[in-house]
Structures are given as C-alpha cells and as structure tokens.
Amino acid sequence: MLYKDQIDTNKVPQHVAIIMDGNGRWAKQHGHHRTYGHQKGAETVRKVVETAASIGIKYLTLYTFSTENWNRPEEEVTALMDLLFQSIEEETFMTKNISFRVIGDMQRLPQKVQERLNQCMEHTAQNTRMCLVLALSYSAKWEITEAVRQIARKVSKHEIDIDAINEDLISSQLSTHFMPDPDLLIRTGGEVRLSNYLLWQCAYSELYFCDTFWPDFQDEEFYKAICEFQNRERRFGKTSEQIVND
Ligand code: IPE
Ligand code: IPE
Ligand code: MG
C-alpha cells in the first residue's frame, strides 16, 4: 500500500522543516557539475511545496542557504544566488494561495535578490493555504545571537524587566516568531546532524533522516516521513499512560 494512502489527514503536522541536502553528491553521482544538482534540487522544491500544501501542512520551512554556506567557492555561491533569483515565482504562489517568507540575514544577499524576495513577501502576505519559509543566510546561532542582542537592548532602555525574560519572550524575538515550532524535521542526503538549523525551535520536533539525495526526494518518500511522524508518540516529557489518557 502506498504511503500516500496511509496518511491520516486529521494528524498532518502543522509545521514541517526540511534540510535539503545532497544536491552536490547527486550531481557527482550523475557525472554533472554541482550547479546542475542545485537546479534539479530546485525542481524538487517546487514539487514538495505543492505536495505539502495539498496535504494540509500549514508551514513549510526549507533550509536553502546557511550562514556557513557563504564559505563555499565563490562560483557556487554565485550560481546559488542566481538560481534563487530565478526560482522565486510570485505568480505560482498567488495561484496556489501560498504566502512566502524568508528567515535569515537577508542583508548579506545580493541587492537584486533582496528586492525580489521583499516584493514576493509583500505581495503574497495575505495568502492563507500554506506559508512557505525559506531559511536564507540563516543559522540558528546567528538568530539566537540577534535575539539576545535585541532583548539586551530592550532591557538597557528599561522597556522590559530582566525578570520578564522567559521562553515565550525569547521565542518572540526569533525570526520564526510568526509560526509554531516544527512538528517534524526531515533531513535528506544521509548526514545525521542539524547543521545549525532551528536549534531552539526543534527542541521537541520529531526527527526524520533519509539517505535519498534531495534531487531524488519524491512524494512517496515525503509521505513516508509523514506516516512515520504519525506513528510516533510525542510525550513531551510525560509518560505514555498520561498521553493516552489526555
Ligand atoms: C544542499 O546540497 C544545498 C545547499 C547546501 C545549498 P549540498 O550542496 O550540500 O550537497 P552535498 O551535501 O554536497 O551533496
Ligand atoms: C545544510 O547543508 C544547509 C542547507 C541544506 C542549506 P550543508 O551541506 O551545508 O551541511 P553540512 O555542512 O554538511 O553540515
Ligand atoms: Mg551538503
């Protein structure tokens, strides 16, 4: 039986985060340049966005370019920025009723990319079916450092009291403040690490790792991850008996 048919439509994760890894190795395996792997990866993004929206996921957060990725060869960084520029399809988001957001240090992105992203965010802000979030020039340590700085500033201006600093306040200062924490985090490409992604927000996320390189990540694999998520018991520190009786 297909995983697609096993999904419980009443238990779809609200927020799915994905570390889209393996474009370079996919390209190498097929005798292509890394850039071609990224192009194929962008095609997978299009499909996954559509699939996520169609099964009722409300927030999809894709790790697209990390702070650390700035250290890649200049040629690859440029190719990725060009690909990003070409891939922002505002019309598609409008047709599909998807709102678009970016988290990360946008100022480091090329000017023309920033402009296109900002315009797309503005124009799609009222769309309600799903929110697609790209993590760009993003790292969790960068984000947390920014939040700490922001809070310290408010304390020094006496806008907040030190004793008012709690988990909710910290969450409200993160770039993800507008959405719930991820229920499910998927990483493709075989590595079993978080690579500085959503470290605060994934404190209680279910983690799913698969070996498939991102360009080969098909719908069925996505459905498989959702099914596995639905079969896990999220206890949040409680006992199994407490969860059953809830
Ligand atoms: C993920 O694929 C895309 C980005 C990090 C931009 P990689 O480019 O990391 O692919 P591998 O890990 O080298 O195969
Ligand atoms: C993580 O992949 C970042 C993105 C998918 C954008 P990397 O390929 O950069 O991760 P590491 O360096 O292997 O951990
Ligand atoms: Mg990689």
Ligand 2 centroid distance, CA of 195 (Å): 6
Find the ligand nearest to 68 CA: 2
pLDDT tens digits, residue range 127-182?
999 999 999 999 999 999 999 999 999 999 999 999 999 999 999 999 999 999 99
pLDDT given for residue 246 in this prediction: 77
C-alpha span between 110 and 115 (Å, rounded): 9
Q: How far is the CA of 2 from the centre of ligand 2 (A)?
A: 30
SS3 content of the chain, % helix, strand, coil (to 5): 50, 15, 35
Question: pLDDT class for 67, splitting at 50, 70, 90?
Answer: very high
Neighbours of ion ligand 3 (CB under 5 A): 21
From the CB of 20, is ligand 2 less than 6 Å away?
yes
Indicate if ligand 1 lies below 6 Å from the C-beta of 25: yes
The Cα angle at residue 66 between residues 60 and 70, in degrees rounded to 5? 150
Once rounded to an integer, what is the mean pLDDT over residues 188-203? 98
Nearest CA to ligand 2 atom 8: 21
Domains of the chain: 12-139+182-241 (3.40.1180.10)
197 CB burial (10 A radius; 0-12, 13-18, 19+): buried
pLDDT band, residue 245 (cuts 50/70/90): confident
Q: How far is CA 175 from CA 15, 134, 201, in A?
A: 15, 11, 11
CA of 213 to the centre of ligand 2 (A): 12
Residue range 21-64, pLDDT digits in tens: 999 999 999 999 999 999 999 999 999 999 999 999 999 999 99
Task: Identify the CA nearest to 186 among candidates 214, 161, 215, 167.
Answer: 214
Q: What is the pLDDT of residue 104?
A: 98
Pick the atom of ligand 2 nearest to 195's CA.
14
Give per-residue pLDDT as tens, 74-126.
999 999 999 999 999 999 999 999 999 999 999 999 999 999 999 999 999 99
Secondary structure (DSSP) of 32-63 = --HHHHHHHHHHHHHHHHHHHHHHT-SEEEEE
What is the rounded CA–CA span in Å between residue 90 and residue 111? 18
Ligand 1, atom 3, lies closest to the CA of 21
